[in-house]
Copies of this chain bind each other. A is one copy, B any other.
Amino acid sequence: MNSHNVASITKPETNGPVVNGVPTGQLLEVIGNIQQDAEMAQFQFRLQNRWMGGSINRSLMDQWFAEGHEQHHEQPFTLDADEPVLIAGQDTAPTPVEYVLHALISCLTTTMVYHASVQGIAIESVESRVEGDIDVRGFFGLSDEVRKGFKAVRVVMQVKSEASAETLRELAMYSAVYDIVANSLPVDVVLEKA
């Protein structure tokens, strides 16, 4: 990835072409800002969540932080989570672990498309599938030896493009969520009595 990653583009053009539907000028402007000042690269994403009773809870996303400023989504997003009926839920929304799989596969796709676009690699189509195996004895506290989350996750991406599978995979591996899921990360959980 040394020769052809986006870092090799040293002169951002804010009016770059739209490649694969991605306005590369906008991307190169962000990259240029970050190259000039590492503080501009410090982003923060946030959300609030409220328990709705039983198996259902709801998250709200609005404000985030990037390039030294508070940012807002065009409109706030809400996401519900639920559990299947089999696991005492009402099945009105995806489960938390399905949200992880969506985060992973969507990030791999967007990351590959973004990096390809900046490099001028045309992509015609991307269709992917992901599956995650979980032994729920860990979650239910039935065994200390069984981990609580997925024990393995497999992704298959089918991509129509002139570029080689190897190149496309290298681009996808810049994915933030791949890094989050595959590697460990400090997660601080504080519980306060309301």
A interface vs B, CB < 8 Å? Answer: 1, 5-7, 20-24, 26-27, 30-31, 34-35, 38, 41-51, 53-55, 57, 59, 61, 64, 66-67, 71, 73-75, 77, 79, 81, 83-88, 91-111, 113-115, 123, 125-143, 146-161, 164-166, 168-169, 172-194
Measured CA separation A143–B1 after assembly (Å): 12
Copies of this chain, whole number: 2
* In contact, B149 and A44 (Cβ under 8 angstroms): no
Contacts of A87 in B (CB 8 A): 26-27, 30, 66
* Cβ 8 A contact of A132, one of B34, B45, B174, B189: B45
Q: Tell whether A153 pairs with B31 under 8 Å between CB atoms, given A54-B113, A159-B191.
A: no
Contacts of A42 in B (CB 8 A): 133-135
* Cβ 8 A contact of A49, one of B97, B99, B109: B109
Contacts of A77 in B (CB 8 A): 93-94, 98
Q: How far is the CB of A182 from chain B (nearest CB, A)?
A: 4
Contacts of A102 in B (CB 8 A): 47, 49, 59, 61, 79, 81, 96, 99
